Amino acid sequence: MKTLLIITSFIVLGGYLISQVSKQSQKSKGKMGTKQEAKKTYEVQKSEDEWKKILTPEQYYVIRKKGTERAFTGEYSNNHEKGVYLCAACGQELFSSDHKFESGTGWPSFWEPVKKENVEAEEDNSLFMRRTEALCSRCGAHLGHVFDDGPKPTGLRYCINSVSLKFAKKKD
């Protein structure tokens, strides 16, 4: 009887948590302009073998297989230099250091991209969660995720894997 009660409690709690995540996702959808579309064709096209040759194993795992680097281990999580963050796969400008902020999450966080059209948002329902994935609009590289708990003026937090980025220091 106790086992049945415990299982029922977990099911009810799980259902509640899923409904809350779903509500949050629906609220943020319009704000982030998510898309759920068929396989998109990107300007930069390479075979998986070509990607493996130009990316490190960790970059390939994150960028092409939609992995995640461990928190607080990335090269740019604590970078405070002025400059622009580029896509590690294709070199497109993605984020400015002027839009970077300390989120405390262990990943570089930005409140907006350099140009909105350079970073796409797409629904991500993996790992039993509803999230919004951030992708490079030029090559489709997985960058990280976008959340609606960021600072003003956008209220967004682009939580980005360092291995998905290259940093171009601002020249004096």
Of these residues, 87, 136, 139, 159, which one is catalytic?
Answer: 159
Nearest of 4, 158, 141 to residue 59 by alpha carbon? 141
What is residue 159's three-state secondary structure? Answer: strand
Q: Does the annotation count 136 as an active-site position?
A: no
End-to-end CA gap in the chain: 71
Tokens for 169?
């220091």
Contact (CB, 8 A) for 138 and 86: no
Could you give the CA distance from residue 127 to residue 167 in angstroms, rounded to a whole number? 30
The residues carrying an active-site annotation are 159
